[in-house]
Structure 1
Amino acid sequence: MSVYAIGKTICKMYLSLVIRAEAIGQENIPKEGPVLLCSNHISNYDPPLVGSFMKRKIHFMAKEELFSQKILGSLLPSLGAFPVKRGAGDRQALRKGLSLLEEGKVLCLFPEGTRSKTGEVGKGLSGSGFFALRSEAAVVPVAVFGKYKPFQKVTVVYGKPLNFQQLRNQKTSAADATEEIMDSIRKLMAQHQAEKNK
């Protein structure tokens, strides 16, 4: 069993039994071909939550500083993560992300670039729009909400793929494409929060 499979199993058990995590919409993830997952960001637990309930392996961009930590830094590549320099146009990370999508793999981004302190979906960085426009990937919005506390429940919702072909044909800017993605995440979250409050 691979390091990724072991890590995924452990995380899923912890999230399911202790945090009481709930996953909705896994059927919206294409079974093959390139996929770009774009999620809001409320906790450091978001990457394992998003990845643990999917059958396909996910690749993540992770801040460069994490790779300098001795133990974690050595594990991250095996867990599907690769480094990105925050606050700058990291061309190497962009090329790596596009390469993964060209190979038909799944790339997960947290467009806000940092965790939301309020739980509200913030403004996204243009990187997610860049990947959505420059690849043929299915763009899937993901909403995470709830509290990562024992038995308080957190929910991850995988939305239906967005139709980005028209935006690609119109040569939409990366910033505008990112805002389209963020708006989809906001709507997805609002919809499912309203259903839970009924």
Structure 2
Amino acid sequence: MNLYSFAKGLVKSILSPLYRIEVVGLEHFPKEGGVLLCANHIDNLDPPVVGITAPRPVSFMAKEELFRVPVLGKILPGVHAFPVKRGMSDREALRKGLKVLKEGNVLGLFPEGTRSKTGEIGKGLAGAGFFALRSDAKVVPCAIIGPYKPFRKLKVVYGPPVPMEEIKEQKLNAEKTTDIIMEHIASLMK
């Protein structure tokens, strides 16, 4: 058993009963091929919650500071996380993300880049649009509907893939593409 499978099983056994996690819409998740999984960001637990509810292994970009934390820095690469420098264009992280998608794997992103303090969806950064436009990956929106309170239901909703063919035909830029992805995430929260 690899570290990812072990960690997923362990984290699922703790978080699923604690937050009574309900998962909706898994039928929308492509069984194969590159997937850009875009979710809102309300809590530090969002990456593990998305990781345990997604039907396929997910690679996440994580802020590079986390890779300097003792123990955590050793675990992150084993659970498919890779570092990204925040606040600047990190070409290496962009290349790595495109490679994940090109190899037919799942790249998980939180387009807002940081947690929402209010639970409301914020403005997404252009990175999600960049990956969506530069790859042939299916773009799957995901809404995490909190709050993270023990023994209260936490809902994770996966929506149908964003119609990227239409967006690419319109020749929209990365920022506008991200806005459309964010609208799809928001629509899942209703």
Residue aligning to 1:123 = 123
Residue aligning to 1:193 = none
Alpha-carbon distance between aligned partners in 2 of 1:127 and 1:150, rounded to the nearest angstrom: 33
Shift of 1:170: 2.7
Does 1:188 pair with 2:185? no
Q: Is the CA contact 2:29–2:55 (under 8 Å) kept in the aligned structure 1?
A: no
**Unpaired stretches in structure 2, ≥5 consecutive residues:** none
Q: How is 1:138-177 mapped onto 2 (pairs within 5 angstroms)?
A: 138-177=138-177
Q: Which amino acid aligns with 2:145?
A: F
Alpha-carbon distance between aligned partners in 1 of 2:162 and 2:145, rounded to the nearest angstrom: 21
Alpha-carbon distance between aligned partners in 1 of 2:57 and 2:119, rounded to the nearest angstrom: 27
Question: Scaled by the length of structure 1, what TM-score is found?
Answer: 0.94
Pairwise CA RMSD: 0.8
Shift of 1:149: 1.9
Question: In the comparison of the two structures, how many residue pairs are matched?
Answer: 190
Q: How is 1:8-87 mapped onto 2 (pairs within 5 angstroms)?
A: 8-87=8-87
Shift of 1:182: 0.5
Secondary structure of 1:189 counterpart:
coil
Residue aligning to 2:93 = 93
Shift of 1:120: 0.3
Does 1:137 pair with 2:137? yes
Shift of 1:72: 0.2
Question: Scaled by the length of structure 2, what TM-score is found?
Answer: 0.98
Alpha-carbon distance between aligned partners in 2 of 1:52 and 1:110, rounded to the nearest angstrom: 16
**Unpaired stretches in structure 1, ≥5 consecutive residues:** 191-198
Secondary structure of 1:143 counterpart:
strand
